[in-house]
Amino acid sequence: MIEKIKAWDEGLFIYLNSFHHDWLDPVMFQLTQTWPWIPLYLFLSFLVIRHYGKSSWWVFIGIGLTILFADQFTSGFMKPFFERLRPCHDPIWDGIVHNYGKCGGLYGFASSHASNSFGIAMIMYLTLGQKHDHIKWLFLWATFFSYTRIYLGVHYPADVTVGGLVGVSAAWGAWYISQAIHKLSTQSVR
């Protein structure tokens, strides 16, 4: 069963990775970085502060915990535990995989980019989704951000799918912890 899933994952990777264009390579490489998305992060921070005001600190604790949990679980635990080579490091794909830019660390399961982006999308949806309907579009951004990793040849589809699930789970955990901290702080003030 595992071999069938692996074969399907590799086949889907080769298919998706083949859709590249020379003019798009540097664009996708830049869009997989953090800095182009800083205006988005600033806008989200503005929405949090505008909605929660002085009590927005607990939301930022939740965001920080989400990123910490998502990133550390994928990079600190999963990658060294599973030791699945990134496609751009696997010699069986030499001459087949389109890799643009850096390949990254040796192992790629699961994607930290995917876990962090889906974690951010989920924690923002949990904190602002009922107030701002457009927040749900962050999941489309997280999907695109994760796809750049396949496009660049550094992750398989399963890497980004599992990474996304880790991020969503991390956001839920961080949400409950930050909610508990917020409730404790408001009770102690009374």
DSSP string, 137-156: GHHHHHHHHHHHHHHTTS--
Beta bridge partners of 85: 107
Here the tokens at position 139 are 């999941």
Say which residues have a Cβ less than 8 Å from residue 18's Cβ, sequence separation at least 6. 98
DSSP 86: P
Q: What is the mean pLDDT of each run of 10 residues along the chain (190 residues)?
A: 92 94 94 95 96 92 97 97 96 92 93 98 95 95 97 97 98 96 76
**What's the pLDDT at 190?**
56
Amino acid at 127: T
What is the model's pTM?
0.94
Query: Tokens in use for 4?
Result: 């069938």
What's the pLDDT score for residue 188?
64
Name the strand (E) or helix (H) holding 85: none
How far, in Å, CA of 146 to CA of 155, rounded? 9
For residue 188, the surrounding DSSP H or E stretch is helix 157-189
